[in-house]
Structure 1
């Protein structure tokens, strides 16, 4: 069970860290494009029929609005999470030869969504500032 959860969480965290290297406003726009791509990921499988087009349109709208709003990007990732769950339950995974791929995606996506809903802050800059503060505290300068 734990091995089904840990890798997707680490993937979501890794995504947030790596994309933190992109400076704003480009980071937000890059993430809007990424959620748009995720919204279309199930189209080729068509596991939920015509609803795949409705879902893709909804996430595309979120991605478009996400060009200017982290909140819409986060909402797009949460919509994708729900779609992942539906595909997992239906037995129509995002990667046809990997039975639990939609489940993994449903675990990974909310990690990314939470980061986006917090405004997609640079985790690299946050880690650097915490490290400097810790070093100041250790040296007695705080």
Structure 2
């Protein structure tokens, strides 16, 4: 159960922490991160030249993500697929943690869902001591 719950909580923590980044920088920051995720398995070389092909694809997706939250979400879903392949092949993203690719495959879609909704801050409109006024109608 912890193998599934922990990655979900990590994905939610990612969303909450990223929500603290001002909107004007948040999308670009996430595009850079999805580009980096594309190179996460590169040094392991478990899939030979396909590792380089995937890295190139993710670089393109990250570039498009500079202007599109949808592309950032697509990048996280592509990485999910790559995580699954590596988990099945037995080459985890963290060599010292056998289930790390499995966990990453659970975490990444949580982030992707947030990206597909436009990467909005989960903290928007939530301030300590703020009062919400209801308008009748």
Q: Say yes or no: TM over 0.5.
A: yes
Question: C-alpha root-mean-square deviation of aligned residues, in Å?
Answer: 1.9
* SS of equivalent residue, structure 2 residue 95: coil
Which ranges in structure 2 are unaligned for 5 or more consecutive residues?
none
Partner Cα distance (2:130, 2:3) in 1: 35
Task: Give the alignment of 1:28-67 within 5 angstroms.
Answer: 28-67=27-66
Matched ranges for 1:18-37 at <5 A: 18-37=17-36
| Alpha-carbon distance between aligned partners in 1 of 2:130 and 2:60, rounded to the nearest angstrom | 40
- Residues of 1 paired with 2:95 and 2:48: CA distance? 16
SS of the equivalent of 1:123 reads: coil
**Deviation of residue 136 (structure 1)?**
5.2
Structure 1 moving runs of 4+ over 6 Å: none
Task: Count how many residue pairs are aligned between Structure 1 and Structure 2.
Answer: 135
Segments of 5+ residues of structure 1 without an aligned counterpart are: none
Query: Aligned residue for 2:109?
Result: 110
- What TM-score comes out, normalization by structure 1 length? 0.89
